Structure 1
Amino acid sequence: MTVDLLITDAYIYIDRGHEIPNGWIAIKDGRVHSTGAGGQTPPVASRAIDARGQLVTPGLINAHHHMYQNLTRSYAPVTNGTLFEWLQGLYPLWAGLDEESVYLSTFVAMVELLMGGCTTSMDHMYVHPRPNLIDAQFRSAHEIGFRFHATRGSMTRSVEDGGLPPASVVQDEDTILADSERLVTKFHDPAPGAMDRVALAPCSLFSVSERIMRESAAMADRHDLRLHTHLAEDPEEDTYCAEVYGCTPTEYFERVGWASPRSWVAHYIYPSSSEIDRLAHAGVCTAQCPCSNMMIGGGAADAMNLRARGMRVGLGCDGSASTDHASMWLETRMALLLGRFRNGPHSMSARDALDMATRGGAACLGREDELGHLRVGACADLVIWKMSEVALAGALTDPVEAWLRCAPAVAGTTIVNGKILVEDGVPRLSGLNEVLRAHMHEARRIQRLTD
């Protein structure tokens, strides 16, 4: 039997507790066909890549993102605001989103993710000033060949209703629910190895009605979908929930039926210990976003404490206007540094961070059986990492620790579904320059800038 692709002479991180120095990995029909050590004879391949001296890992998984925000990166008027100030400053700009701008911003975000070693990403698209924006995202994913989990976000509470966003970016409940059903029917693929999935994702407890929370949970049960939202991200959220619901954010989350294995939440910075234990027992996962939370100055989840209490923790880039980049390698490195800074040098290793970026992200998306590892039968999503000889000089004993401790690292080769999408650090995509030019035009339009 001839396989499609063979990677040889690499240090291969297959999964937690399973690493192969000087190993090989074979890919066929979009799946991991076989793996072996240097002394074992690999199968014949249509194409072989010599990865001598390089680290191979599963593709990183981005468990929380807002791709459209790369249209307003580093927007000067709000760069130093609190979370709520930042949102209030940017919502009026995001009201200018349309299908073209969302298509372009999603395309750019996915290419940037691929270059940072990410092979699967969700996106939390909760601003809907115009219809069919998520359709435009799937168009980008299909053109690139990216594994994509779209989450149909929503907001029902505008400024007039005591919320933060202007009325132009919120929707009524019936519109949200009808479009959610439409997207599930049109795009959600429940089959193994799926490239397209849909989840339901009301933006936050303070931005949608109780009906949306409850009916999203019911719809997820009917269609076997994942559920996602922001939770316990900011102390102001505690104040809001206490005044409006008479409880904490986690208690309200439980009240509306979201404390289930279907759910994963973003941030989860300010829960009590008992609340962590309850959600972990319920099977809820969370996505830590180290760079974004540190940039906003709003604290960060204690990932290792959450993991110790039984909660699965993934990593996310968060919005490209809060963290201003989309490198999952950088998020993984920052998670390591933040964990050690918070809890001491013995608290976290590079393998812990890599596990969060792979297995943890797969758990958030409900796909740990086939994503986040390179065991035989897994989806063939993997990265051959590229680092300069100068950066690695003297790093002789542990390639995984060196990958995060020595810097910077980029994806030399990124493979999704068995297909090479980045090679020698360069995206294999025609028309990228045209997309970037069009993206600049849309960014200037939304930011209301003129030449």
Structure 2
Amino acid sequence: MSRTIVEGGYVATVDAAGTEHREGHVVIDEGLIAAVGAGPAPVAVREDAEVVDARGCLVTPGLVNTHHHLYQWLTRGYAQDAILFDWLTALYPLWARIDADLTRAGAAGAMAVLARSGCTTVGDHHYIFPRGSGDIVGAIVESAARVGVRLHATRGSMDLGASQGGLPPDFAVETTDAALAASQEAVERWHDPAFGSLVHVAIAPCSPFSVTADLLREAAALARSLGVRLHTHASETVEEDAYCAEHFGKTPTQYLDDLGWLGDDVWMAHGVHLDSPAIARYAATGTGVAHCPSSNGRLAAGIAPVRELLRAGVPVGLGVDGAASNESGQLGVEIREAVLMNRLRTGADSFSVRDALRIATAGGARVLGRHEEIGSLEPGKLADIAVWRVDGVEHAGILDPVAALGLGAMPPVHRLFVGGRAVVVDGELVTAEERTIAEEVAAAARELAARG
């Protein structure tokens, strides 16, 4: 049916006013949100409509994941007690044996779990492209279509090997020219800028310690000539700060700023170690941040200054990060983690459950440049909607459904819609066979391990 009505649930629109309806409705028509309001849907729209009973549920925008490394789904559980640089050094040799077929399997597994955790838009950062590995970006696009989620793929790169003072081994990097050419090819082949597009592609050299200044500078110019966004890691750890001070005599923010890497078309992963001048520059330029609380905890990187970023007006979204540093892979869990981590940093009243829901939805949409299309429940936007069941034994008695999501266990997803299409029903993926995906992931993980 072309029209679907979700009604009877608690509707948190996450619009600019923070409008909420204790018992409300959302009307989906031809993949778009046609109406949102209190009480049942009007009689005039009910004819020939499928009605989803959302009583006992919280209805929110679909969650937006602004940073991930989908291929890492195949290397979870490695280097369990390492900080970032040691963790990377341990895993680079294994990742350098990845190919398109293995990535396809890992990406499908990671995106299936993301969908089951309320995520409708997946941002991915893939930056390792071994020689002869095939069309890795295409494989990720295929897996997104299989699962049914919206994809923001980034064509990453590394050209600064250990022999040149970088962190990755030489066999894991590309030449500067090859990285730029492949980035342009990925954009021209896969990026669709149309309203409602299921695939966007950005350009994303990996990090200041794995990429030359030439690649950073030229990648920024290339992205802007192609009209796509830019993404990289920045200010994640104290070790990165020390590396930039030693090699460049600057902070990561100063270094990236000098290379043209601040702007409203750029978002950075992590932003844990941003000082006041850096936050001011991010705010002045509109540079976004992907906040990844669980991964930052897993690698003991620290807690990002999210309250300070938001108060300064910096766009902030939520991210899972690579599954090898966040084995859960669930974006819904990160809402609670964001609340808890940021309260540890700045106090119990500094970051509310609604703050966390906002960065997981509207904030992420702004970071990815799609705030006119997704991130809130408003007429005319894409029908990317999560319906969370909060009347089960885990949540019964929590009178505020948003608190049930932001402080309680992650609720099961009753329905997940991407462009009006049901992707998850009663907690199960309905677009693909979960058991088949799980078997493919297990086989691919064994194959990759055997190559190590």
TM range (shorter): over 0.9
**Is there any run of 5+ residues in structure 1 with no aligned partner, and where?**
none
Match for 1:159 among 159, 162, 179?
162
Q: Does 1:47 align with 2:50?
A: yes
Q: Does 1:276 align with 2:287?
A: no
Cα distance, 1:94 vs structure 2 = 0.7
Deviation per CA, 1:7-54: give whole Å up to 9, x if none.
111111112411122111111111101122216525124311111121
> What's 1:14 paired with?
13
> What's 1:83 paired with?
84
Cα distance, 1:143 vs structure 2 = 2.1
Cα distance, 1:69 vs structure 2 = 0.6
> What's 2:98 paired with?
97
Contact 2:57 2:391 in 1 (8 A): no
Deviation per CA, 1:362-392: give whole Å up to 9, x if none.
1110011111001001110011102452222
Contact 2:390 2:396 in 1 (8 A): no
Q: Does 1:182 align with 2:189?
A: no
Alpha-carbon distance in structure 2 between the residues aligned to 1:370 and 1:392: 31
Letter in 2 for 1:37: A
> What's 1:420 paired with?
422
Q: Does 1:333 align with 2:336?
A: yes
> What's 2:63 paired with?
60
- Pairing of 1:278-297 with structure 2 (within 5 A): 278-297=281-300
Q: Answer with 36-45 or 147-156: which moved more.
A: 36-45
Tell me, what secondary structure is at the counterpart of 1:239?
Answer: helix
Cα distance change of structure 1 residues 233 and 288 upon mapping to structure 2, 3 Å threshold: same
Q: Does 1:378 align with 2:377?
A: no
Alpha-carbon distance in structure 1 between the residues aligned to 2:407 and 2:210: 39
Letter in 2 for 1:111: A
Contact 2:412 2:426 in 1 (8 A): no
Alpha-carbon distance in structure 2 between the residues aligned to 1:430 and 1:260: 38
Contact 2:26 2:41 in 1 (8 A): no
- Pairing of 1:202-221 with structure 2 (within 5 A): 202-221=205-224
Cα distance change of structure 1 residues 393 and 143 upon mapping to structure 2, 3 Å threshold: closer
Q: Answer with 369-378 or 32-41: which moved more.
A: 32-41
Letter in 2 for 1:400: V
- Pairing of 1:21-420 with structure 2 (within 5 A): 21-38=22-39, 41-42=42-43, 43-44=45-46, 45-75=48-78, 78-129=79-130, 130-387=133-390, 389-396=392-399, 398-420=400-422
State the TM-score, normalized to the length of structure 2.
0.96
Contact 2:66 2:368 in 1 (8 A): yes
Alpha-carbon distance in structure 2 between the residues aligned to 1:176 and 1:263: 19
**Is there any run of 5+ residues in structure 2 with no aligned partner, and where?**
none
Deviation per CA, 1:77-127: give whole Å up to 9, x if none.
x11011100000001111121111000011111110000000001100011
Q: Answer with 421-430 or 15-24: which moved more.
A: 15-24
State the TM-score, normalized to the length of structure 1.
0.96
Tell me, what secondary structure is at the counterpart of 2:231?
Answer: strand
Deviation per CA, 1:397-419: give whole Å up to 9, x if none.
x2112222222313221111110
Contact 2:373 2:382 in 1 (8 A): yes
Deviation per CA, 1:251-300: give whole Å up to 9, x if none.
01100001111100011111220111011111001011000001111102
Cα distance, 1:359 vs structure 2 = 1.0
Cα distance change of structure 1 residues 239 and 352 upon mapping to structure 2, 3 Å threshold: same
Cα distance change of structure 1 residues 241 and 27 upon mapping to structure 2, 3 Å threshold: same
Letter in 2 for 1:10: G
Letter in 1 for 2:212: S
Deviation per CA, 1:222-250: give whole Å up to 9, x if none.
11111100001111112211222121111
Tell me, what secondary structure is at the counterpart of 1:356?
Answer: helix
Letter in 2 for 1:6: I
Q: Does 1:4 align with 2:11?
A: no
Q: Identity, % of aligned pairs?
A: 41
Contact 1:213 1:256 in 2 (8 A): yes
> What's 1:446 paired with?
448
Alpha-carbon distance in structure 2 between the residues aligned to 1:248 and 1:64: 22
Alpha-carbon distance in structure 1 between the residues aligned to 2:309 and 2:374: 22
Letter in 1 for 2:209: F
Cα distance, 1:433 vs structure 2 = 2.2
Tell me, what secondary structure is at the counterpart of 2:220?
Answer: helix
What's the RMSD between the two structures over aligned residues? Answer: 1.5
